Structure 1
C-alpha cells in the first residue's frame, strides 16, 4: 500500500509540475513585447495588417482560453506552426532531436565508463597518492566549461581524423556510423566536466560504504576486496547516486545546447538560438516546454528507480543525495 501511495504521489507531483511549467512558459511568451503576427508579417507591415492577422490566429482571445488550447496541443504534440519557418513546431523539434539526444547519450556513456573506475580506485584508498591525483584531475575537469573545452579540442583535433573532423556533420539516415562519429568530439567536451561531478559524489559514496559494518563483516569472512567492491559497495553506492546521475544527464542536455553552436551541429541548441534571434515565439515556447518536460521526467524517473532499488526511499518520501 505504501508503494502505491508513493507512486501516486510522484505521478500527481509530475502532472502538477508540468502544468505549472507549461503555464509560466506560455504566460511569459505571451507578455513579451511583439507577437507571432508581427514576426510573420515583418517590420514593414501596417498596424491594420498585424491586427487582422492577430484576429485570424486567435491572438486576441483571452489568455486562459489560448493557454488551454496551447497546453492541450503541447501534450498531444501539436504546438502549432513556427512563425519564422512556417512548419509545425513538433516537426522542427523532431528533426533536430537526434543530434542533441545522441550527444547526450554518448556523453552520459562516457561519464559512467570513466567516473566509476575513478571512484573505485580513489574511494578504496582515500588519502593515498592515487586518490590525490584523481581528485586534482577531477577538480581541473570540473573547472573547465564545455564551451572552452570545445574550442580547445577543435583546435587540437580538427583535421586529424576524417570521421572526427570538427564541423563535419553526417545525417543518421545516410550514414549511421558517420553520424555517431561526428558526435564523439562534442560529446567528449560535454562529458569531461560531468565526469568530475559524478566522480566526486560516487567517490564519497564508495568511501562511506567501505566504512560500513557489513563491509567489515564481509572481510572477516574472507571475501576479497574485489568481490566486496563489485557485489556490495558499488551497487549500494549506485543507489545513492541515482539522483545525481539524473542531474548530470539534465546538465549534459543543457551543455549540448551550447556545444552544438561551437561544432556547428543542427541540434536543438541551434534551433533555439535561431528562434530567439527571429523572435519566433511559438517555436521558443514549444522548445522550452519540451526541454522542461524532459528534465522533469528525468527527476521523476530517478525518484521511481531509487524507490524500487531502495525501499527506504518510499518510507522517507524523498531520495538521499
Structure 2
C-alpha cells in the first residue's frame, strides 16, 4: 500500500511539473491571444478589454494559479479557435483516439506475441530468419510513412477504403471501425516488430537458465516448460515494453490521425498548436501527460502482481 501511495504522489508531482512547464512555455511564445481572436483590425481598446476578460493582464504566476485551480475544478477554459469550452472539445474527441489506440494495441498483442514465441521456438531456422527480416523492415519504417504506404496500397490501388472520408461513429459504428483499421495497422506494425524481437530475446535468455534444464530433466514436454515456466518469467520484460508502447501509440496517433483525417485528440493537438490556441493546447498536454504517467503507474503495480519476488521498499 505504501508503494502505491508513493507512486500516486509521484504522479501528482509529475503532473504539477508538466502543467507548469506547459503553461509557461506556451505563454512565452510570441503572439497575443487577444489579437488572434479579434484580428489585426481590432482597436486597441477592444484588445485591452478582451485581455482583461481573459486574465492576460495578470502576471504569469497569477494566471498559472488561476488556470490550474480552474482545471482541477473541471474548467479547462475556452478554446480561442473554436469558441467552445475546451472540456467539450476533448470529450468529443476522446472516443475516436481511444478506439484507435485500443485497436492498435489489440493488433500488437494478437500478432506479436504468437510470432515472438514461434520465432524463439524455431531459433536458427528459415522461418526465424524470415520473421527477423520482416521485423527489421517494419522497425525501420516510421508510423507516418507506413500510413502513406497503407493509404496507397489499400486505399488508392485496392480501393478497400476511401482516404480522407472519415465515418462518424455516431452514424455508422461498423464503418467507423473499418476506417480505423489501416490507421491502426500503420501505428501497430513498427511496434509489433519491436515486441517480437524483445519477446524472442527474453524467451531465449530464459531457455538457457538452470530451472529450464531442471524442468526438462523431470520429463516435462517443451510446450509445458515454455508456457508454464519460461513465459511467466519473460513476462516482466514484455510488461515494461508494453507500458512504453502504450504511450508511444498515443504519440503515434498524433501524426497518423492527421494523415488519415481522423478527428481525434492527435489532430486536435496539431490544430491547436498551429493556431496558437493556448487553452486547448495546455489542456491536451496535461491530459496526455496524465495518460502516460497513469500507464506507468499500472505497469509498476503489475510488476508486483506478476512477479512476487519483486519487492520495492
The bucket for the TM-score relative to the shorter chain is over 0.9
Residue 288 (str. 1) matches residue 285 (str. 2): yes
1:18 and 1:293 in contact (8 A); partners too = yes
Partner of 2:144, secondary structure, is helix
Q: Which residue of the partner structure matches residue 299 of structure 2?
A: 302
Residue 26 (str. 1) matches residue 30 (str. 2): no
Deviation at 1:73, TM superposition (A): 2.9
Q: Which residue of the partner structure matches residue 240 of structure 2?
A: 243
1:22 and 1:289 in contact (8 A); partners too = yes
**Structure 1 stretch 227-236 or stretch 7-16: which is displaced more?**
227-236
Deviation at 1:247, TM superposition (A): 0.6
State how far apart, in whole Å, the 2-side matches of 1:135 and 1:98 are.
35
**Structure 1 stretch 35-44 or stretch 276-285: which is displaced more?**
35-44
Residue 272 (str. 1) matches residue 269 (str. 2): yes
Deviation at 1:286, TM superposition (A): 1.1
> Which of 258, 262, 266 is residue 259 of structure 2 equivalent to?
262
**Structure 1 stretch 69-78 or stretch 196-205: which is displaced more?**
69-78
Partner of 1:314, secondary structure, is coil
Q: Which residue of the partner structure matches residue 65 of structure 1?
A: 62
1:170 and 1:182 in contact (8 A); partners too = yes
Q: Which residue of the partner structure matches residue 141 of structure 1?
A: 138
Could you tell me which runs of 5 or more consecutive residues in structure 2 were left unpaired when the two chains were aligned. Answer: none
> Which of 81, 90, 94 is residue 93 of structure 1 equivalent to?
90
State how far apart, in whole Å, the 2-side matches of 1:143 and 1:254 are.
17
State how far apart, in whole Å, the 1-side matches of 2:310 and 2:72 are.
30
Residue 84 (str. 1) matches residue 81 (str. 2): yes
State how far apart, in whole Å, the 2-side matches of 1:120 and 1:191 are.
18
1:142-196 Cα distance to aligned partner (Å, 9 max, x none): 001111111111111116465x433232222222222111101110111000111
**Structure 1 stretch 277-286 or stretch 151-160: which is displaced more?**
151-160
Trace 1:307-318 onto structure 2 (pairs within 5 A). Answer: 307-315=304-312
Cα distance, 1:37–1:312 mapped onto 2, change above 3 Å: farther
State how far apart, in whole Å, the 2-side matches of 1:77 and 1:243 are.
32
1:123 and 1:207 in contact (8 A); partners too = yes
1:111 and 1:195 in contact (8 A); partners too = yes
Deviation at 1:80, TM superposition (A): 0.7
Trace 1:46-195 onto structure 2 (pairs within 5 A). Answer: 46-158=43-155, 160=158, 164-195=161-192
Number of residues of Structure 1 aligned to a counterpart in Structure 2: 312
> Which of 229, 236, 258 is residue 226 of structure 2 equivalent to?
229
State how far apart, in whole Å, the 1-side matches of 2:296 and 2:70 are.
24
Cα distance, 1:193–1:50 mapped onto 2, change above 3 Å: same
Structure 1 runs of 4+ aligned residues shifted over 4 Å read: none
State how far apart, in whole Å, the 2-side matches of 1:172 and 1:213 are.
53
State how far apart, in whole Å, the 1-side matches of 2:177 and 2:185 are.
12
RMSD: 1.7
Deviation at 1:117, TM superposition (A): 1.3
Partner of 1:294, secondary structure, is helix
State how far apart, in whole Å, the 1-side matches of 2:309 and 2:22 are.
35
State how far apart, in whole Å, the 2-side matches of 1:256 and 1:286 are.
17
Cα distance, 1:301–1:98 mapped onto 2, change above 3 Å: same
State how far apart, in whole Å, the 1-side matches of 2:172 and 2:73 are.
31
Deviation at 1:124, TM superposition (A): 2.4
2:254 and 2:270 in contact (8 A); partners too = no
Q: Which residue of the partner structure matches residue 196 of structure 1?
A: 193
Partner of 2:311, secondary structure, is helix
